[in-house]
Structure 1
Amino acid sequence: MVTLRALECLVALSDEGTMTRAAAVLHMSQPALSHQIASVEKELGTPVAERMKRGVVFTAAGRATVEEARKALAAADRAVRVGKKVGDGLGGKLRIACAETMTPWLLIPILRQWHRRWPDVELDLQEFTSSDRMVEHLMENGTDLVVGPEPTSTTAHVQVLGQEEVVIVASADHRFAACESVTVPELATEAFVHYHTDNGMAIWVDQFAAAHRTPLRVALRTFSPRTAAQMAGAGLGVTIVPVSALVGRFPAEVRRIEPRVHRDIVALTMTPSDVLVHRFITHLKRRGLPNVDTSARLDR
C-alpha cells in the first residue's frame, strides 16, 4: 500500500518539476526520493513520470494519481487538526447517559455553560430510568459518561459526586402534611405510588421497605419519579422519590424520612483520561449537588 510519505513525494515532484528541487523541499536525499516514487510506480504498475534533462514530465497515470494524492494529504492534515482540537478539548463529541431526574436537577446548568464556552463540542444526552442499564450502555461503548445513582456493580471508573436525599411525597390534605418527618412503618397503611420494574427505583424501594419489614400497599405504578411525585401530590397515594424528582412547581407536601435516607450519585466512565470526560466530571464535582428545600411545599 502506498504511504502518505510516498504521496507527499509524488506531489512535491509534480510541484517542483525536478528531483533536485523536490528533494530539497522535502529535506531528503535524491536517492530516498527516487525510492518513494518507485514505490508508487510499483503499486500502480506503471510509470508516473518520464525523466528528462530539464526535469520530469508526468504521465496520465501520474497526473491522475497526483490529483487524488492532494486530496488524501489534505484529508490526512484535517484528521490531525481535528484530532488535536478534540485532544485539546476544543471540539469533538461527548456522549452522556444520565438518570432521567438528573437532567433538570443537575446537568442543565453545566450543559448550558459548555454550550457557551465550547460551541464546537457536541453534547449527546440520553436519559435512562435504570443505573444498571446505563452501565450496560457504557460497557457496549454506547456512551462516554454515566451520571446517576450508584449501580448494582461495575468495573468502570467511579467518581462519587455527592449524596442525594430520598424523601416522601404526599398531597396537601394528607395526614403526613402535619408531620415534620415520616417513619417507614407509617407507610404500611397508605396507598403507595410505586414504580414499574424497568425503573431502578422499583428495586431500591422494595429493598428499602423489606429492610424495614414494611409491606407496601401498591395503588398504581409509573416509570418516572417525577410523575410519581405529581401523582402523590394529586392525592393518588404517597410515594418515595429522590429529591432530584422535585424540580418544578406542583402542589405537594415533601417530608423527610426518619431517620434521613440518602443515596450516592456517581459519575462512571471507561475513559477517565479522555479530556472531555475528565473536564465534565471535574465540573460536576466542582458544582456539587443542588440543595432542595424539603421542608417547603413545592407550589410555594
Structure 2
Amino acid sequence: MATLRALECFVAVCQFGSVTEAAARLHMSQPAMSHQIAALEREIGTSVVERLSRGVRPTVAGRALLPDARAALAAAQRAVATGRAVARGAGGQLRIGCAESMTAGLLAPVLRAWHRRRPGVHLGLTELSSADGLADLVGSGMVDLAVGPRPSRWAGFESLVGSEEVVAAMAGGAGPEPVTFTQLAKRSMVGYHPDNGLGAWLDDVAAERGVALTVLTRTRNATTAAHLAAAGLGVALVPITALPSAFPGAVRRLDPPLLRDVVVLLANPHDPLARRFDADICRRGVRVPADIAVQLGPAE
C-alpha cells in the first residue's frame, strides 16, 4: 500500500513541477524524493510523473491519482488535528457513567462547565443505580469513566472524590437530633428496589447494627425516595448528593454517622480527556446544598 509520505512527495512534485523544488519544500534530498516516487510507481504498476527536459508533469495515471492523493493527505491532516485537539481537551468524545443519585448534585455542574469551556467535546451519559454495574461498564469499555460509590469489585484505576454522608429524610416538623438505627427500626421506611445497590448496602448496615428495617414503599431512585419521605410515606435513607435544593422535608444525621466513599473509575488512566474530567470532578468534591447544611448543622 502506498505510504502517506510517497503520496505527499507525489503531490509536491505535481504542485511545483520539479523534483528538486519539491524535495527542497519537504526538506528532503533529491534522491530520497525520487525513491518515494519510484516506490509509488511500483505500487501502482505504471508511471505517475513524466520527466521533461525542464521539470516533470503528471502522466494520465498521475492525473487520475492526484485528487485522491490530495484527499488522503487532507484526511491524514484532519486525523492528526483531531488527535491533538483531544490531547489538549478541545475535541473528541467522552462516555461517562454515573450513579443516578449523583447526576444532579455532583456531575451536572461539571458537565455544564465542560459544555461551556470545551464545546468541541461530545459528552455521553449513562446512569445506573448500581456501583458494581458502573464498574462493569468501565471494565467492558462501554464508558470511559464512571462516578459513583466505591464498587464491591474493581481492580482498576480509581480516584477518590470524597466521602458522602447518608442522612434520614422525612416529613417536616422533625426535631434536630440525629436518628439511630434502633429508632429507624420502629418507623416505616421508604426503601429501594433490588436493582438499586443502595438498598442492599443499607440492609447490610442495619444488620451490622442489629436491626431490621420495615420497608413499606420501594423506589429505584434516591431522589424520589426523599420526596416520598417528605410526603409522609416514611423515612428514607438518602445520600446527600441525591437531595435537591429547597428540599420540602426534614433532614437528619444518623447516629453514628453513615458515610460512603465516592470515586471515579477510569478505563484508561492515560487518556487525556478522561483524566481532565476526573481532575475536575475531584476538584469539585462532594458538596452539601446550603439549605440542607443548615438543617444538618455542624458535623460532630
In the alignment, the residues of structure 1 paired with residue 125 and residue 160 of structure 2 have an alpha-carbon distance, to the nearest angstrom, of: 20
Residues 245 and 27 (structure 1), Cα distance of their counterparts in 2 relative to 1, 3 Å cut: closer
Matched to 2:62, the amino acid is G
2:181 to 184, 205, 212: 184
In the alignment, the residues of structure 1 paired with residue 168 and residue 141 of structure 2 have an alpha-carbon distance, to the nearest angstrom, of: 36
Matched with 2:227 is: 230
Q: 1:33-72 counterparts in 2 under 5 A?
A: 33-72=33-72
Q: 1:127-206 counterparts in 2 under 5 A?
A: 127-172=127-172, 177-178=174-175, 180-206=177-203
Whether the aligned pair in 1 keeps the contact of 2:96 and 2:126 (CA below 8 Å) is yes
TM-score by length of 1: 0.91
Greater Cα shift, 200-209 or 15-24:
15-24
Matched with 1:216 is: 213
In the alignment, the residues of structure 1 paired with residue 273 and residue 23 of structure 2 have an alpha-carbon distance, to the nearest angstrom, of: 41
Matched with 1:14 is: 14
Deviation at 1:32, TM superposition (A): 2.1
Whether the aligned pair in 2 keeps the contact of 1:170 and 1:252 (CA below 8 Å) is yes
Task: Please tell me the root mean square deviation across aligned C-alpha atoms, in Å.
Answer: 1.9
Instruction: Answer yes or no: is 1:257 the counterpart of 2:254.
Output: yes
Q: What are the superposed Cα offsets for residues 175-225 of structure 1, whole Å, 9 maximum, x if unpaired? A: xx2461211022223222111111111111111111112122221211001
Greater Cα shift, 105-114 or 58-67:
105-114
Whether the aligned pair in 2 keeps the contact of 1:100 and 1:129 (CA below 8 Å) is yes
In the alignment, the residues of structure 2 paired with residue 139 and residue 246 of structure 1 have an alpha-carbon distance, to the nearest angstrom, of: 29
Stretches of structure 1 that go unaligned for 5 or more consecutive residues are none
Deviation at 1:165, TM superposition (A): 0.7
Matched to 2:216, the amino acid is A
Q: 1:95-106 counterparts in 2 under 5 A?
A: 95-106=95-106
In the alignment, the residues of structure 2 paired with residue 10 and residue 280 of structure 1 have an alpha-carbon distance, to the nearest angstrom, of: 43
TM-score by length of 2: 0.91
Deviation at 1:296, TM superposition (A): 2.6
Instruction: Answer yes or no: is 1:73 the counterpart of 2:73.
Output: yes
- Partner of 2:141, secondary structure, is coil
Whether the aligned pair in 2 keeps the contact of 1:228 and 1:239 (CA below 8 Å) is yes
Stretches of structure 2 that go unaligned for 5 or more consecutive residues are none
Matched with 2:277 is: 280
Greater Cα shift, 61-70 or 90-99:
90-99
Whether the aligned pair in 2 keeps the contact of 1:254 and 1:295 (CA below 8 Å) is no
Whether the aligned pair in 1 keeps the contact of 2:241 and 2:286 (CA below 8 Å) is no
Whether the aligned pair in 1 keeps the contact of 2:241 and 2:288 (CA below 8 Å) is no
1:268 to 265, 270, 276: 265
Whether the aligned pair in 2 keeps the contact of 1:254 and 1:294 (CA below 8 Å) is no
Stretches of 4+ moved more than 4 A in 1?
none
In the alignment, the residues of structure 2 paired with residue 160 and residue 12 of structure 1 have an alpha-carbon distance, to the nearest angstrom, of: 53
Count of residue pairs the alignment pairs up: 294
Greater Cα shift, 47-56 or 129-138:
47-56
Deviation at 1:120, TM superposition (A): 1.9
Identity rate, percent: 49
